[in-house]
Amino acid sequence: MRGRHREHGPPPSCGVAERGAAKRARTAVVLVALAALLAGLGLWASRSEEPDASGDALPDNAASGEPPSGPCAPDDTLVPACGAWWGAYVPYAGNGSLKDAVLGFEKRIGRKLDLVYNYHDMSGTELDGRLLTPDEQELGRDRLLMLAWESTVWTEPHHEDWTETQLGWKNIASGTYDEEVLDPQIRRIRAYGKRVFVSFDQEADARIKEGAGTPEEFVAAYRHLHDRFRELGADNVVWVWTVSGYLGSAAEMKALYPGDRYVDWIAMDQYNYYRCHDTTDWKDFLRSQQPSYEWLRANVSDDKPVMLAEFATAPDADDPARQRDWYTRIPTDVKKLPAVKALVHWNRPPSEEPACDLTVNDGPGLDGYREAGRNGYFHQPVPSR
């Protein structure tokens, strides 16, 4: 995640309290430990039902109006019929506003995004731990939202330094966090009304190394979360299963799949890092995506739609036009990956090194990305509900 394969990321974080012998004792121990952790980080926030803790009632629907109809209307799981969604992850603006960040990005690229991708932890805090912030609700009125929900507590706001504490997949699966952590956010999504993409612990294959648990525990946690949404009546969720796509983790990725019943889309995060990670191999868009795409289709599902949940290219300092051309090739090349129905640009660098600048905020990268986004293949009717 975050514009990097997680195998290049920070070392694993420590977990939270171990389970006791009895379920009630185990639940109390873990929740007390979590509360102490969050309080120590200054992150503990009170929770309530609708309306939310800020006093702002959630809307019954994100927007009014009838869903789009006709031959290009998306289906119930938000698969567009005639092309693909054009989306992005955009970090919060300096003033703390996601809305300002997204509107500023859209002004630069010369179009409205179809899909806005944002990340949340399980701290319950106002911005990072509360699904569907006021900014997300407003942006969602005429855009799709995708919420990546991590079973972690971030050490810094917006995960600025990438450090976190794992809550543990076995604890999610056991129901330890249902009442205090999961249920309040599930009710918020239910109240939102509009269909929303949800990705639980994206790049799960890399999280194994970070101490989240085993593939079997992830499958149990994913299924539990999915079923918990259903139990609480939040049937407006489109489920996205996201792995890194790194083929060195092929066995893990295959073992992490929770099954077709629990998944609407499969997704991957692949990049052309070029010299960002000490390589000299420039991969054009198709070569950066096609191997993992074909593996997922052959080994996980050959009928689920595919989302490029994070993608981008690093620049080539010796040939700046190369970055522009990488993006301008996308409308042609993505049609060779016909199951890809959404492309989400990662607009944040994984480090301060110029070679790792994955953004398209200016220069040749912006020129190429703007041109690609004008293509009719990426202009689909966005549903209002």
Give me the pLDDT at residue 332, please: 98
Give me the pLDDT at residue 352, please: 86
Give me the pLDDT at residue 84, please: 98
Token pair belonging to 35: 């509360």
Give me the pLDDT at residue 325, please: 98
User: Which sign, positive or negative, has the C-alpha torsion 79, 85, 89, 90?
Assistant: negative
pLDDT tens for residues 176-197? Answer: 999 999 999 999 999 999 999 9
For the annotated catalytic residues, the residue numbers are 203, 310
Give me the pLDDT at residue 117, please: 98
pLDDT tens for residues 278-291? Answer: 888 999 999 999 99
Instruction: Give the residue ranges of the chain where pLDDT is below 50.
Output: 1-30, 32-33, 36, 38-56
Fold of domain 6-378: TIM Barrel (3.20.20)
